[in-house]
Amino acid sequence: MDSAQKTIGREAECSGIGMFRGESTSLHFKPSPLNSGISFVRVDLPNRPRVRAHVHSLSSNYKRIFLKNNEAEVESVEHLMAALAGLGIDNIEIEINGREVPAGDGSAKLFLEVLKKAGTVELGGKKKGFIVKTPIMVSSGDASVMAVPCEKGLIFSYTLDFNGSFIERQTYDIEITEENFCRDIAPARTFGLSTYIEEFKRLGLGKGVTDDNSIIVHEDGKMTKPISMKPAKLRFPDEFVRHKILDLVGDLYLANVVIQGRIVANRSGHSLNVQLAEKIAQNA
Ligand SMILES: [Zn+2]
């Protein structure tokens, strides 16, 4: 990754419905100065509160992780954060007129397209970096994610394994460069296991799930669109493990540093991912 901090070249916008609440929101991206970081501004709330996209803003409820500053909350940020990480954008203000970031097609494509169109510009100072010198690990049950040293760059290795049910074991290794991220990771879409979908519905979430933004995997391994239940076509044979890396890239970017290291993950999800991001932020 290059070393100069970046922002976007000009303002840009996108909108859509959030996957969990089904409410429509718009994002307005604005260039931001050196060392200002990444922040959301809730323009629909009195006094337009700012919510920093940083591990210090993390909060959770009913298995959902979100960013919070007092009463202002922003959720479903991970695919947008991944797009910002992939493009090396460290400074940006994102006005949002609701609580949830739009889902787009369930991947990072929507954000990548709009941010690429806005272009990036280098700012005067250097990026904040973090070189992994000793292993940092978090785990829970049989899931784990760790950062270990590597000579250069940022490499992700992910193993997706549901013990033989749902999806056959998938592993994926990739060095995150802008080119690799845009081509191999960003288009991978959200998926859900049929059993989790029921739990989501009970919690009143998943109201914005459509045939165009997610894939359901059934216990027998069949993949369908979530509403019509028509067969779903994948973008990559191993789209699911790629999506897990997309989430991990976005979650770790909440540490607000460029990591030099290898991230080795086994079955990890958002809650473990952000625990590793917190540890990296503490060490950085
Ligand atoms: Zn995701």
* Domain assignment present for 56: yes
Question: CB under 8 Å to 226, separation ≥6 — which residues?
Answer: 192, 197, 209, 210, 211, 214, 215, 216
Q: Look up the domain containing 109 and give its range.
A: 4-128
Q: How far is the CA of 6 from the centre of ligand 1 (A)?
A: 24
Question: How far, CA to CA in Å, does 104 sit from each of 141, 154, 262?
Answer: 32, 26, 29
pLDDT-derived band at 281 (thresholds 50, 70, 90) equals very high
Q: Report the percentage of the chain scoring pLDDT > 70.
A: 99
The average pLDDT across 63-83 equals 94
pLDDT-derived band at 195 (thresholds 50, 70, 90) equals confident
CB atoms near residue 278 (< 10 Å): 16
**Whole-number pLDDT of residue 11:** 98
| pLDDT over threshold 60, residue 36 | yes
85 touches 255 (CB < 8 A) = no
Q: How far is the CA of 264 from the centre of ligand 1 (A)?
A: 18
Q: What is the pLDDT of residues 265-277, one digit of tens each?
A: 999 999 999 999 9
137 touches 108 (CB < 8 A) = no
| pLDDT over threshold 80, residue 205 | no
* Domain assignment present for 101: yes
Which alpha helices (DSSP H) does the chain contain, by range? Answer: 78-87, 109-118, 178-180, 194-202, 239-252, 270-283
The average pLDDT across 165-193 equals 95
| pLDDT over threshold 90, residue 264 | yes
| pLDDT over threshold 90, residue 3 | no
* Domain assignment present for 48: yes
Q: How far is the CA of 80 from the centre of ligand 1 (A)?
A: 10
* Domain assignment present for 90: yes
Q: How far is the CA of 124 from the centre of ligand 1 (A)?
A: 33
Q: How far is the CA of 185 from the centre of ligand 1 (A)?
A: 11
282 touches 222 (CB < 8 A) = no
Instruction: Point out which residues pair with 93 in neighbouring strands.
Output: 30, 39
* Domain assignment present for 27: yes
* Domain assignment present for 153: no
The average pLDDT across 191-220 equals 86
Q: How far is the CA of 246 from the centre of ligand 1 (A)?
A: 7
Q: Report the percentage of the chain scoring pLDDT > 90.
A: 85
**Whole-number pLDDT of residue 2:** 53
Phi (first) and psi of residue 60, to 5 degrees: -145, 155
Phi (first) and psi of residue 240, to 5 degrees: -70, -45
| pLDDT over threshold 50, residue 1 | no
User: Looking at the annotation, which residues are catalytic?
Assistant: 270
Q: How far is the CA of 247 from the centre of ligand 1 (A)?
A: 5
* Domain assignment present for 72: yes
Q: How far is the CA of 209 from the centre of ligand 1 (A)?
A: 13
**Whole-number pLDDT of residue 164:** 78
**Whole-number pLDDT of residue 62:** 65
Task: Provide the number of structural domains found in the chain.
Answer: 1
The average pLDDT across 16-24 equals 94
* Domain assignment present for 190: no
CATH number at residue 24: 3.30.230.20
Distance CA 157, CA 172 (A): 6
The average pLDDT across 169-187 equals 97
Mean pLDDT of the chain: 94
**Whole-number pLDDT of residue 280:** 97
**Whole-number pLDDT of residue 198:** 77
The average pLDDT across 70-98 equals 97
Q: How far is the CA of 242 from the centre of ligand 1 (A)?
A: 10
Structure tokens at 199: 């739990």
